[in-house]
Amino acid sequence: MGYPMLLLFLALASSSSSSIEAADDDQIKSARLLDLFIRDYTFKSNPTIFKTGKLHSVSLPANLSGIGVNTARFRCGSLRRYGARLEEFNLGPGVIIYPCIERIVLVRQNLGENWSSIYYDNYELLGYKLVSPVLGLLAYNAGEDAMHNNNPFEVEIQAKKTPIAVDFTNVCNYNDTNGRRIPLCATFQKDGKVKLTEQVKANVCLAEGPGHFGLVVESPLIPAKIRKEKGWKVAVGSSIGAALGAFLLGLLLVALFVKEKKKKARMDEMERRAYEEEALQVTMVGHVRAPTASSCRTAPIIERQYRPPRRY
């Protein structure tokens, strides 16, 4: 029974590894999937036992070229008491780790220019432009079970008392000559939202926990070549808009003129009808014919000639 079970286990392991290799060949479009691939290769490349606190470089496959990954293992108590530094990330003392299972592995990522675009595509950054590579810091448990069975899970780090400093000085070449576009710190959260904060100093941001971070600027500049190509389109669009506006204004003026003309014609017709329907006599006044009104037919009665009837 033992030998058939061993064969079945080997078959399942080989099929699982082949499916992972096949997935590696596909284009990775999810930031979460990219983190999982980096995690798997990180734990595969590290030896079972290596010195605590020592920084190791991780070799990634060719389809993940352009990404820089470093990792280090720490004791939970030592990390809480003394903190740590991984390239651009500086963790101060007093961080809270949960769940803390003796040791943890910190994984530092530098996604470079090519792979940083995956965060620009998956997060809402309309009106902003990345001016630095996306840097990531993730933490995984490094207990004996995780290292032997290769089943690490992600742990949380809280650094509210002493925030984590993220220094982009050595990875960001952005230079604002006009001094009008000061980069903002972008934190790419797990819920798909981006949190923007100001820098504490040039190219330095603060974070309250692990995650992915970058520098962004508002209103990205449009290259001169693109402006020239779109210049004639803007001119044609402006001309068409001006012509359409003049045409609509002309229609409005014509409508007002016709309305006023109809109103005047209606008033003239009313005056003509009133003149024709009035029955007046015409007489000569000198050499001019003029309408005259007829004389009053009822003779006036003087009130003093009126006597009340006699009473008997």
Same domain assignment for residues 232 and 147: no
Least confident range of 110-114, 127-131, 292-296: 292-296
Angle between helices 112-122 and 31-45 (to 10 degrees): 140
Residue 189: predicted pLDDT: 87
> How many Å apart are CA 248 and CA 251, to the nearest integer?
5
- Do residues 128 and 217 touch, judged by C-beta distance below 8 A? yes
Residue 84 belongs to some domain of the structure: yes
Closest among 110, 133, 116, 136 to 215, alpha carbons compared: 133
How confident is the model over 258-267, as pLDDT tens digits? 888 888 888 8
- Do residues 146 and 215 touch, judged by C-beta distance below 8 A? no
Task: Indicate whether 299 pLDDT > 80.
Answer: no
Residue 98 belongs to some domain of the structure: yes
Same domain assignment for residues 182 and 240: no
Task: Indicate whether 149 pLDDT > 50.
Answer: yes
Same domain assignment for residues 122 and 235: no
Same domain assignment for residues 210 and 243: no
Same domain assignment for residues 194 and 228: no
How confident is the model over 211-239, as pLDDT tens digits? 999 999 886 555 544 455 566 677 788 88
Residue 312 belongs to some domain of the structure: no
Least confident range of 40-54, 63-77, 111-125, 166-180: 40-54
Residue 281 belongs to some domain of the structure: no
How confident is the model over 68-82, as pLDDT tens digits? 998 888 888 888 888
Task: Indicate whether 307 pLDDT > 80.
Answer: no
How confident is the model over 165-201, as pLDDT tens digits? 999 988 887 776 566 678 899 999 888 888 899 999 8
Same domain assignment for residues 180 and 78: yes
Number of domains comprising the chain = 2
Those residues with Cβ within 8 angstroms of residue 117's Cβ, 6 or more apart along the chain or in another chain = 130
Tokens representing 136 are: 């990531």
- Do residues 218 and 128 touch, judged by C-beta distance below 8 A? yes
Residue 8 belongs to some domain of the structure: no
- Do residues 108 and 172 touch, judged by C-beta distance below 8 A? no
Residues facing 137 on adjacent strands: 108, 211
Domain boundaries, position 247 = 222-266
pLDDT-above-90 percentage for the chain: 9
CATH code, domain carrying 159: 2.60.220
| Mean model confidence pLDDT for the chain | 76
Residue 165: predicted pLDDT: 92
Same domain assignment for residues 161 and 243: no
Number of separate helices (H) and strands (E) present in the chain = 6, 16
Residue 300 belongs to some domain of the structure: no
- Do residues 223 and 147 touch, judged by C-beta distance below 8 A? no
> How many Å apart are CA 147 and CA 167, to the nearest integer?
30
